[in-house]
Amino acid sequence: MIFRFIRKFVKGFFIFLTVPIALLFLLACVASFINPGKFWPGSFLSLTIPYLAILLVFAFIFWLAMKPRLSLIPLISLLIGWQQLDAAFAFRFKTIFTKDLEKKEGLRIVSWNVGSMYGTTSNAQTRLRDREEIAQTIVDLNPDIICLQEFNHSETQGEQANNIGLFTEKYPYYFFSKDLDKRNGFYQAGSIIFSKYPFVDSGKIAYPAGISESFIYTDILYNLDTLRVYNIHLQSYKFSREDYEGINKIQNRSDSALDASVGIIKKMKRAFQKRGTQADIIRASVDSTKLPNIICGDFNDVPGSYTYFTIRGKHQDAFLKKSWGVGRTYYSIAPTLRIDYILPDDNFIINQFDMVDEDLSDHLLLVCDVNLVK
């Protein structure tokens, strides 16, 4: 009698959990195609897709054992959301990246948010050492094209701040966006593209007023072909130290967590909406070019987001093609934050891909080898 009651209670409890989880998962999947400017709460849901998917897998296993008919609820939900799952999880067996590969006609591309080029410490001597280590890490990979975000440079503070000069011996061609330019070159920051191959054209495409991040491109002459490389950096949440402390309070269920969450939600909402605008602008630009192209950069958004699906379009995702798992590229907050990408279009074959953790930035370095097959 008691056993029967417990069994019914457990079933009822799991039904009570399964249906809302399935509905939230489906709403999160739909939100991938709704601009946050029209419905911003959907962007919060997109952050939960990996977690909701894992819960649905457990629910499927449970109901398959307990009552197979009810296992259809999580199963159908997962099948409907397969496009989002396929973007969130890579299902390829990861191979060891061959650093010294004889590339023949292939291209090696590095994309990295270098977080100011001075590492993650506040110690002055360590920062100068990290600056050189960051550059050496990139150069040692022997890429043909380098896309860096949050790149700092100074034209007036001497060699220790001449960060462009760290690359120009091997990469004489570059385009620097200079999103911030203070005191006539004393401090410059933005995104930059370096290349071993000459540029046919380069430019920066403007975002609306109030958005400082970069959207730049270079048209590169490569073996009698011209290809376009985009380097993009999208709106961040602009979290302060106090915000990160607030996130810790939320995670630890502190008494002051509610107060901390209000400001964090406002910043996230604003960033979601701005990235929606940026994504539409980027997509329009990519659609307008007939050149083979590769999109690189820090999207500040996850694979289940409107930002990702809009910008990626029909492009390939190098991580999904050549790796395994969720592919975290950003250290803070959560273990599922893959927010940095290399996206070649279908004129390229992706040969290999890797994410390199050198503990020199809060982002991982991405490196990818491709062949142009146009």
Instruction: Assess whether pLDDT exceeds 90 at residue 6.
Output: no
- Would you call 281 helix, strand, or coil by DSSP? helix
Mean pLDDT across the chain, nearest whole number?
88
User: Rounded to 10 degrees, what is the CA torsion of 333, 337, 340, 341?
Assistant: 180
Give the per-residue pLDDT at 302: 95
- Would you call 7 helix, strand, or coil by DSSP? helix
The answer to whether 163 and 153 are in contact (CB under 8 A) is yes
Give the per-residue pLDDT at 332: 74
Name the pLDDT band for 1 (thresholds 50, 70, 90). Answer: low
Instruction: Assess whether pLDDT exceeds 70 at residue 129.
Output: yes
> Which residues, listed in sequence order, are joined to residue 90 by a DSSP beta bridge?
325
CB atoms within 10 A of CB 366: 25
> Which residues, listed in sequence order, are joined to residue 113 by a DSSP beta bridge?
149
Instruction: Assess whether pLDDT exceeds 70 at residue 46.
Output: yes
Taking residues 244-261, report their average pLDDT: 58
Fold adopted by 107-372:
Deoxyribonuclease I; Chain A (3.60.10)
Q: At what angle do helices 2-31 and 72-80 cross, to 10 degrees?
A: 10
> Which residues, listed in sequence order, are joined to residue 343 by a DSSP beta bridge?
295
Domain residue spans of the chain: 2-88, 107-372
Strand-pair category, 145-153 with 107-113: parallel
Instruction: In whole angstroms, give the CA distance from residue 267 to residue 261.
Output: 10
Instruction: In whole angstroms, give the CA distance from residue 300 to residue 211.
Output: 14
Handedness of CA 233, 235, 237, 238 (dihedral sign): positive
pTM of the full structure: 0.90
Give the per-residue pLDDT at 343: 99
pLDDT digits (tens, 9 = 90+) for 92-107: 877 778 877 665 568 9
Instruction: In whole angstroms, give the CA distance from residue 58 to residue 82.
Output: 16
Q: Reduced to 3 DSSP states, what percent helix, strand and coil does the chain have, rounded to the nearest 5? A: 40, 25, 35
Which amino acid, one-letter code, is at 95? T
Higher-confidence residue of 184 and 206: namely 206
Which amino acid, one-letter code, is at 118? Y
Give the per-residue pLDDT at 9: 55
**DSSP-H helix ranges across the chain:** 2-31, 41-46, 49-66, 72-80, 82-88, 124-140, 241-251, 257-288, 306-312, 318-322
Of 2-11, 46-55, 63-72, 290-299, the poorest mean pLDDT is in: 2-11
Instruction: In whole angstroms, give the CA distance from residue 244 to residue 246.
Output: 5
Instruction: Assess whether pLDDT exceeds 90 at residue 174.
Output: yes
Strand-pair category, 225-233 with 215-222: antiparallel
Instruction: In whole angstroms, give the CA distance from residue 202 to residue 20.
Output: 49
Q: At 181, which helix (H) or strand (E)?
A: strand 180-182
